[in-house]
């Protein structure tokens, strides 16, 4: 994933270097590239905010190893720690996948207010909530393509401001929809050591949305 997104940053770096990005948002092109690169580089940092209790699942060693390899979650170690029956599940905010995208979207929304972004955001919140899955040992997982749903709506409702609509509606919609999914979890839910908002299970969806929105600010000169 890191290599794939790093490759996607190359055209953003070139367009940023040639000062062709961010004009619609009044953000310097290089600053925009640095911010998107920082989201990727800081996606490994989690900031804990709350703890809940969830039930430890019964998983074979092979399945725990597969989950650990696919999602980079040290599940085997977590299963052996603490209470044998429940996780003390930590809810965290991912620095690169939640906090930085939230700040960028809030800045853009404040400087470019629009009703279309609010309408589409409500759609994305609902779609994210309905399509999210509480995956045992991993946390809340959402489809990586969910942010792409903003593009056709943005082009229909506000084509001249598509970059702003995709960013604001996509980022806020995904993050809020993920937060609302937490309310579906209780002590009887087969849980996970941590629920990473904007991290494991949702970082790709948020980051793809940000990259697309940034590219939509491209202004040929």
What's the per-residue H, E or C state across 125-188? HHHHHHHCEEECCCEEECCCCHHHHHHHHHHHHCHHHHHHHHHHHHHHHHHHHHHHHHHHCCCC
Dist. CA 21–CA 208, nearest whole Å: 17
Q: What share of the chain is helix, strand, coil (3-state, %, to 5)?
A: 60, 15, 25
Whole-number percent of the chain with pLDDT over 90:
49
Per-residue pLDDT tens over the stretch 66-95: 655 555 665 555 555 655 666 678 889 999
Looking at residue 131, its pLDDT comes to 93
Q: Does residue 21 carry a pLDDT above 50?
A: yes
Confidence label for 204 from pLDDT (cuts 50, 70 and 90) = very high
Answer positive or negative: Cα dihedral of 15, 204, 199, 41: negative
pLDDT digits (tens, 9 = 90+) for 35-61: 999 999 999 999 999 888 777 666 555
Pick 161 or 65 by higher pLDDT. 161
Give tens-digit pLDDT for 132-181.
Answer: 988 877 788 999 999 999 999 999 998 889 999 999 999 999 999 999 98
pLDDT above 70 covers what percent of the chain? 81
Asked which of 20-34, 65-79, 82-96, 197-211 is least confident by mean pLDDT, the reply is 65-79
Q: Is 24's pLDDT higher than 90?
A: no
């Amino acid at each position: 994933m890191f290599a794939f997104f790093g490759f996607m940053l190359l055209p953003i770096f070139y367009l940023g270097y040639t000062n062709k990005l961010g004009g619609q948002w009044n953000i310097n092109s290089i600053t925009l590239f640095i911010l998107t690169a920082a989201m990727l580089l800081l996606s490994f940092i989690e900031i804990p905010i709350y703890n809940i209790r969830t039930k430890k699942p019964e998983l074979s060693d092979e399945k725990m190893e597969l989950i650990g390899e696919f999602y980079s979650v040290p599940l085997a170690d977590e299963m052996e720690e603490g209470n044998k029956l429940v996780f003390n599940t930590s809810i965290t905010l991912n620095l690169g996948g939640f906090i930085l995208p939230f700040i960028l979207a809030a800045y853009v929304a404040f400087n470019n207010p629009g009703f279309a972004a609010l309408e589409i955001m409500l759609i994305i919140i609902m779609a994210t909530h309905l399509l999210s899955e509480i995956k045992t040992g991993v946390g809340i997982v959402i489809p990586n393509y969910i942010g792409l749903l903003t593009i056709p709506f943005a082009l229909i409702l506000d084509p001249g401001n598509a970059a702003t609509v995709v960013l604001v509606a996509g980022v806020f919609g995904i993050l809020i929809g993920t937060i609302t999914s937490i309310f579906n979890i209780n002590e009887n839910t087969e849980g996970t050591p941590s629920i990473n908002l904007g991290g494991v299970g949702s970082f790709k969806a948020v980051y793809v949305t940000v990259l697309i929105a940034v590219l939509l600010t491209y202004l040929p000169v």
